[in-house]
Chains A and B, each alone.
Chain A
């Protein structure tokens, strides 16, 4: 089966819901094509609002629509949505408690050679620090589908980051999410890998590689970064060894959050794998992840090294 990008899954879910929900709206900032939302705009022109290349206005308009009873989904490149319109998200959405869903498309380094202007490696830190804002990084198509089905029905603000490219399948048999509970992708007792977004798949690959060497590694899909599933982290800490993996800056992301939680009991070591604190090199996602050690082989090597200590 042809792999889908998570943003395409989002479009499918919004189109499905729009059939019966006239208050569901999609807003784009000249980003309908890059968000894979052109089919929505074509099928539901009365439920699609174009704001032009104006991300501040994009988010504020969505907040005004939501205040008047609409359910707007805003889709814009994560790089701009998380920085240019940060204050609008903080005040008009999170602080004012308007039911706006912010979808950061082509997140992380998925714009590749376009450079730091188009990379969003700070969005967990940005949105998680806003009171009232939830943060989700879905891993694959099945999880994105289940997440959207929940978010479409609720009425509080959320930020969802998805990548640009088709993603590998983590959940062959599909997945049904329990509200804000991490998914245990693989059980394990020697160590735990906690990953989010597109890093879940290489984490799972790493655990499978280690299994062949007799090392039992649990893999947690922490798609819900806020509210983060603390219980799942506490349980992971019982293995004594945690490695986090994220397509994000080393500051204020999944690793920082997990380390903060584990430090309460201090019963596990936490090694954080992330992008470095510098503009990412040009390349495809695969090339860049490998360069910075976010591929399965390196993740597995790190787990083995941690277990030797």
Chain B
């Protein structure tokens, strides 16, 4: 599977969802796309076939507002029909604006920030208690690091040496009010986690190859939970959205929608072509 091209194809699904429903968080959806694509296609053992069992990996999208990106990946992996994406955020649809475990493929309801990591700690502890080999993954936003509950979870993960737990921070550097550094600094986040007993790496979070390598390193790390600080670009893929805080939850106009669509198609084609060479 060509993960790089797939990430752009899935961005187009997100663009359609947001444009159709006139709602969503497109900036963060686009920044996290490679992370989710690599996790669901190359790293995690979570499939529509094994989802109802506990004998598999586990995943929580702590930055729940990026749910459109998760819907795109889950439908593409066959957890539910693509047709369902047309109902996102419509009247009485189960596909609401944050993850909900009524949806096949979603384990925990999220959307309030600072919950994913502590819940993931509980899941990782359950795997340890049962001596199961499965792993637990959670993806956080960088703005949500200001929530204190994350640090309770980080502390417990270090205390219990949860080497079956891997957290990813989608480090796009922007939140609603501006840069994370203006709002509440997160620049030394690796040092903070490291002090809590975690192994950390910092990588380009929009590069599928380096993400795969980072997840592999996480699997090989023993005795410590693992943090991947994934430097990403908010709005990645649509140049007029990139690195602009305003695109946290803006809805594109028709003109912007068409421009973004064209750009995403070109990039998808580029990566298909690049792999073909």
Contact = CB atoms under 8 A, between A and B. Distances in A.
A95 interface: yes
Contact of B108 (A52, A61, A63, A65): A63
Contact of B109 (A61, A64, A69, A95): A95
A51 interface: yes
The winner among B124, B148, B152, B159 for most chain A CB atoms within 10 A is: B152
Contacts of B107: 67
Contacts of A96: 101, 108-109
Interface stretch (A85-93, A182-190, A191-199): A85-93
Interface in A61-99: 61-70, 87-88, 91-92, 95-98
A135 B108 CA distance: 22
Contact of A57 (B54, B129, B130, B152): B152
Contact of B149 (A49, A60, A64): A60
A56 B152 contact: yes
A91 B148 CA distance: 16
B121 interface: yes
A56 B122 contact: no
B112 A64 contact: no
B125 interface: yes
Nearest to B101: A96
Interface residues of B, number: 30
Contacts of B123: 64-65, 67-68
Interface in B140-191: 148-149, 152-153, 155-156, 159
B27 interface: no
A56 B119 CA distance: 10
Contact of B126 (A46, A64, A88): A64
B205 interface: no
Contact of B54 (A25, A69, A88, A97): A69
Contacts of B122: 60-68
A60 B123 CA distance: 10
Contacts of B153: 57, 60-61
A87 to B, nearest CB: 6
A54 interface: yes
A64 B125 contact: yes
Nearest to A63: B119
Contacts of B121: 57, 60-61, 64
B126 A69 contact: yes
A28 B130 CA distance: 20
A67 B114 CA distance: 18
B126 A70 contact: yes
Contact of B152 (A54, A66, A92): A54
Interface residues of A, number: 27
A97 B102 CA distance: 10
B120 A64 contact: yes
Contact of A91 (B54, B112, B127, B130): B112
A87 B125 CA distance: 22
B115 A92 contact: yes
A224 to B, nearest CB: 26
B156 A61 contact: yes
Interface in A27-66: 46, 49, 51-52, 54, 56-57, 60-66
A222 to B, nearest CB: 30
Contact of B155 (A52, A95, A98): A52
Contacts of A46: 129
A51 B156 contact: yes
B118 interface: yes
Contacts of B152: 51, 54, 56-57
Contacts of A69: 54, 126, 130
B58 interface: yes
Contacts of B127: 68
A33 B124 CA distance: 26
A106 B123 CA distance: 29
Given A60-B119, A65-B123, A92-B115, 12 more contacts: A52-B155, A56-B149, A60-B122, A63-B122, A64-B118, A64-B121, A68-B54, A88-B118, A91-B110, A92-B118, A92-B119, A95-B109
Interface of B: 54, 58, 101, 107-112, 114-115, 118-127, 129-130, 148-149, 152-153, 155-156, 159
Interface of A: 25, 46, 49, 51-52, 54, 56-57, 60-70, 87-88, 91-92, 95-98
The 7 A-B residue pairs whose C-beta atoms are closest, nearest first, are A64-B122, A60-B118, A68-B126, A57-B152, A61-B122, A64-B123, A54-B152
22 contacts: A54-B156, A57-B153, A57-B155, A60-B119, A61-B118, A61-B122, A61-B153, A63-B108, A64-B120, A64-B122, A64-B126, A65-B123, A65-B125, A65-B126, A67-B108, A67-B122, A68-B130, A88-B115, A92-B108, A92-B118, A96-B108, A98-B108
